[in-house]
Structure 1
Amino acid sequence: MGSRGPISKLRLSTFLGRGGQQPSSLPPPVSRMEMLSSSSRGFMFALTGFLGGSGFIYYLINPERMKMRQLQTIGGEQEERKRILSPREKRFIKFSSVELNGQIFMTPQDFLDSVVESEPKPRIKRRKLTLDEVYRETHQTLQLKDDFQNIGSKGLISYSEYLFLLTILIKPTSGFRIAFSMLDHDGNEKIDKVITYRTRHTCFLERREVEGDSKEDDFLQKDIPVDTTILVHFFGKKGDRELRFEDFTLFMESLQTEVLHMEFGEFSKGAGSISELDFARILLRYTDYETILNRLYERLEEEKGISFEEFKDFCQFLNNLEDFQIAMRMYTLADKAITQEEFSRAVYICTGKQLSSHIVQTVFQIFDDDGDGLLSYQEFVAIMKDRIHRGLKSYAR
């Protein structure tokens, strides 16, 4: 088979000769380089040599700069890998101020800062603690009624507990029972420390099995047997106390109220109310709100102010936003805009609370695009989801 090519060519030429046809007299194909004049070809070769030689000479003269570019490329690849982290992971890493055996932790104050501030407080580096130091700090934690601000930096919050606390902040009162039941394995209305440890250890093993041992963010969560602030809060300093549903509900309600007080106090400066513009700033903190604020300023005839109770009632309504969506879909099958009366009625059905007429009017002044007195509830819901998730998820279009 290897010598068949030349024989076939000979036979083909013989065959063509028999037919009275002459072999082709066309010249062989010419490359573009060969079509150039000798001077042009010389210039192309010179240019190629110049570019190649210049790169080599540049490396000899500036080896550090070449290495720097390589490092920048590597750094860019590492930066791409960092982007794999979720917004929650990035925020936990940014605000965590304590490290124990290679794992980072938040303090209770870190957690509060992470949900009301855009940047953490200035620090040189994280505090590195030993197990003995952690024991002394966490066991200074007092009772369930004590808020996180009083505990301050004396305590630890792991990444999994951080996610748990974020969930608490957006849970409606009706969701407290569901959250408790997920931990109450035997249904006796009580949770002990052993069950909590076992659940946390199981979740850790499942995560390692799914993600593998080479995961670069293992510093977020390791299987370190340490009493965190939440565990001491729930089960006491000796770990022999059982957590009842009533205590669990008290903790969740207290944490929600504490965060709302911090947000409200940022603008009230000790006063009993905040302005309507400041109320809008809190709601729109995680969106581009300058246009909306300007529109609200033009519509406000006088400043009456928003009390903390009004602010709290509205924020607790936001925790029932999914129920509100269902109610609106059932009521307005064509997704049409709604009136203030329809809005107030839907809120009451979802929460059992009646919002003040002033705060409902303020909400409509904020979100009513064309001033027709109606509210596009879909846009309202999208922006408010950004609010309740504190920018860690994006819904607004």
Structure 2
Amino acid sequence: MRQRIFFKYEKRIRDQSPLDKVFEYFSTQEQDGQEFLTPVDMLRAVVPTYPPSESTADRSGYLAGEPRSKAVQPNWSKSEASFFQQFDVDGDGTISYPEFLLLLTLLSIPGKDVKTIFDVVDLDSNGYLDKSEFMVVVELLQGMANVHTSSVGRSKKLLLDGTHAGLFVAFFGKDGSKKLYLPEFRDFLDRLHDELVRLEFRHYDCNRTGSITALDFGRSLAATADIRNVDRLLDKVDAMVPELARQRLTLEEFRSVAEMRRNVHTLVVALEFFRQVGRSLSKDDFSKLLVKLMRVSLSAKVLDVIFAVFDDGDGALDVPAFLEAMQRREVMWARRRNPDADGAPTDALLRALDRIRSWLPGGSTDLAGFRVPA
């Protein structure tokens, strides 16, 4: 019960608090008076993670005024930070506050929209973005996703100048003259998502056995649902038959679910069709759909857990509950983005990108010193 209480408390922090408060709660490193995230902190700051069943830990962050020595420290070593070290200026694999905001912003880009966003902002159509063009992407996405910090009470332990963040150096070089091409950008986003999947798996694999329990996998599925539905779904996880709860899943099985989730938009129409015509969705139907539409094959264990968590009471998949949890996970990076009256968030984003040309004087494509108008 204590684990669930803290889990829900931390979930509300992620969902409802300004990002500087999220950063401060989950950060465990301090250097020269500045706070930093480890890669594991980064995961826990953006992904709802339930305490591992094979651990005694009950929370991920620490409360204001609580000594760090008494806070729950993530199981992390610098050798596990290779992905983040590639854009870390001092090479220690930690993540500054500006880098946290930048990574969160990049995570908000839907996979299906990467090329569209890249092409629209590539104003001179030369196939790459320079640093000025990339800054426009970041500024627009942060505006659309409402990536913000609190206006008062910000800790002095947070660096706010992100113009020299390590990721910018990795993309554009120390002098800012390198070019960022679409394949490189898409590859980075894919690796960023995959790294978070790997870190999430290692969070539950706290004993480093190379596998996690089906119980932990079920909790990872329930953890991303709306806070109002979490207790009901976690109760269903806890009610799984012991034979299923004790089974173990590999990283590849865990990754296959992440692949399904990142492409869940292709499933929506098919699953809604089943629901609208009143046809129940069996495990066999669901498995065949995934293979046909996504070329994703889920193991029998994974399917058993999904149907245990999202069962409709008659042995079929509860489509609305399943889609809500899966889609919420993929938009949680942009959870502060609010649809306007004219359409969906992505539509509004693309309209905003299209307005860039109108903001540039005389149709110029020179973005030096450009700022998005208030």
TM-score between both structures, scaled by the size of structure 2: 0.60
Code of the aligned partner of 1:232: V
Within 5 Å, give how 1:1-397 maps onto structure 2.
86-87=16-17, 89=19, 90-92=21-23, 94-95=25-26, 107=37, 109=39, 110-116=41-47, 119-120=60-61, 146=86, 151-153=92-94, 155-157=96-98, 160-168=101-109, 171-172=110-111, 174-198=112-136, 216=152, 224=161, 226-268=163-205, 269-286=207-224, 287-288=230-231, 289-297=233-241, 300=243, 303-334=246-277, 336-370=279-313, 372-389=314-331
Q: Alpha-carbon deviations, 1:112-142, whole Å to 9, x = none?
A: 34124664367869xxxxxxxxxxxxxxx99
Structure 1 residue 151: deviation in Å? 4.5
Q: Which moved more, 1:341-350 or 1:245-254?
A: 341-350
Code of the aligned partner of 1:330: F
Code of the aligned partner of 1:293: V
Distance between the aligned counterparts of 1:382 and 1:347, measured in 2? Answer: 17
Distance between the aligned counterparts of 1:331 and 1:159, measured in 2? Answer: 40
Code of the aligned partner of 2:210: G
Contact residue 275 and residue 305 of structure 1 kept, 8 A: yes
Q: For residues 143 and 222 of structure 1, do their structure 2 counterparts lie closer, same or farther at Cα, with a shift above 3 Å needed?
A: closer
Name the SS of the counterpart of 2:223 in structure 1.
Answer: coil
Structure 1 residue 367: deviation in Å? 1.9
Q: For residues 361 and 112 of structure 1, do their structure 2 counterparts lie closer, same or farther at Cα, with a shift above 3 Å needed?
A: closer
Select the structure of larger CA radius of gyration: 1
Contact residue 291 and residue 297 of structure 2 kept, 8 A: yes
Structure 1 residue 374: deviation in Å? 1.2
Distance between the aligned counterparts of 2:24 and 2:245, measured in 1? Answer: 44
Q: For residues 144 and 284 of structure 1, do their structure 2 counterparts lie closer, same or farther at Cα, with a shift above 3 Å needed?
A: closer
Name the SS of the counterpart of 1:274 in structure 2.
Answer: strand
Code of the aligned partner of 2:173: G
Name the residue aligned to 2:360. none
Structure 1 residue 158: deviation in Å? 5.3
Distance between the aligned counterparts of 1:143 and 1:358, measured in 2? Answer: 30
Distance between the aligned counterparts of 1:391 and 1:203, measured in 2? Answer: 11
Distance between the aligned counterparts of 1:303 and 1:225, measured in 2? Answer: 45
Q: Alpha-carbon deviations, 1:209-255, whole Å to 9, x = none?
A: x9xxx965899999957311221121122222111122112211221
Distance between the aligned counterparts of 2:333 and 2:179, measured in 1? Answer: 35
Q: For residues 147 and 381 of structure 1, do their structure 2 counterparts lie closer, same or farther at Cα, with a shift above 3 Å needed?
A: farther
Name the SS of the counterpart of 1:306 in structure 2.
Answer: strand
Structure 1 residue 292: deviation in Å? 0.8
Q: For residues 369 and 154 of structure 1, do their structure 2 counterparts lie closer, same or farther at Cα, with a shift above 3 Å needed?
A: closer
Code of the aligned partner of 1:296: M
Distance between the aligned counterparts of 1:357 and 1:189, measured in 2? Answer: 44
| Bigger relative contact order (CA 8 A; separation at least 6) | 2
Name the SS of the counterpart of 2:326 in structure 1.
Answer: helix
Q: Which structure 1 segments of 5+ residues have no match?
A: 1-82, 126-140
Between the two proteins, what is the percent identity of the paired residues?
22
Distance between the aligned counterparts of 2:103 and 2:168, measured in 1? Answer: 13
Code of the aligned partner of 1:267: Y
Name the SS of the counterpart of 1:296 in structure 2.
Answer: coil
Structure 1 residue 160: deviation in Å? 4.9
Q: More helix per residue: 1 or 2?
A: 1
Name the residue aligned to 1:52. none
Q: Which moved more, 1:238-247 or 1:354-363?
A: 354-363
Code of the aligned partner of 2:187: L
Distance between the aligned counterparts of 1:154 and 1:202, measured in 2? Answer: 22
Distance between the aligned counterparts of 1:366 and 1:332, measured in 2? Answer: 18
TM-score between both structures, scaled by the size of structure 1: 0.57
Name the residue aligned to 1:6. none
Q: Which moved more, 1:347-356 or 1:273-282?
A: 347-356
The Cα RMSD (Å) is: 4.5
